[in-house]
Amino acid sequence: MVAAAIIVDGRLLLAQRTRPPELAGLWELPGGKAEAGESPEDALRRELREELGVEVSGGDRIGDDVPLPDGRVLRAYRVELVSGTPAALDHAELRWVDGRELGEIDLVGNDRGWVPDLRLHLNGW
Ligand code: DCP
């Protein structure tokens, strides 16, 4: 499972989930599942193309791996926007947050442990 930290001008892009019902309304770093045979980097590029309509590059790890109950691992990567403007193609809404706002917004539980690492790269905290 891969997720992207897209940071522009000291703000992080968050996306609001629409599903499943228990996660709907909560905010996340956009991403998703790697398909069979797909590298994490390729999965992230594909997911961001599908979910946000953007092309990205880079991919340094950020934050710790999050072990999921099913045995998989969720991993965040810092990526740069190469082209396109993020759009909520698969989410309810998008928001750019600074460090203070990141601490106040309702994140999905899996992403909460990344907040301290993310804040190091954000303005306003
Ligand atoms: N997830 C998470 N934090 C993120 C991204 C994902 O906790 N920043 C979790 C939530 C889901 C699982 O990973 O349980 C898969 O996420 P998605 O539903 O976004 O993944 P896909 O888009 O690949 O799946 P689908 O299209 O089937 O919904």
Residues near 88 by beta carbon (within 8 Å), at least 6 away in sequence:
15, 16, 52, 94
Q: pLDDT below 70 — which residues of the chain?
A: none
Q: Pocket around ligand 1: residues whose beta carbon is below 6 Å from it? A: 1, 3, 28-29, 31-33, 74, 108, 110-111
How many CB atoms are closer than 10 A to CB 85? 9
How many CB atoms are closer than 10 A to CB 42? 13
Q: Interface pTM (ipTM) of the complex?
A: 0.89
pLDDT at residue 125, as a whole number: 74
Q: How far apart are CA 36 and CA 77, in angstroms?
A: 19
Q: Best of 1, 50, 73 to mutate for ligand 1, by most ligand atoms within 8 A of CB?
A: 1
pLDDT at residue 59, as a whole number: 85
Give the chain's radius of gyration (CA, Å). 13
pLDDT at residue 88, as a whole number: 98
Q: Which atom of ligand 1 is nearest to the CA of 29?
A: 8
pLDDT at residue 83, as a whole number: 98
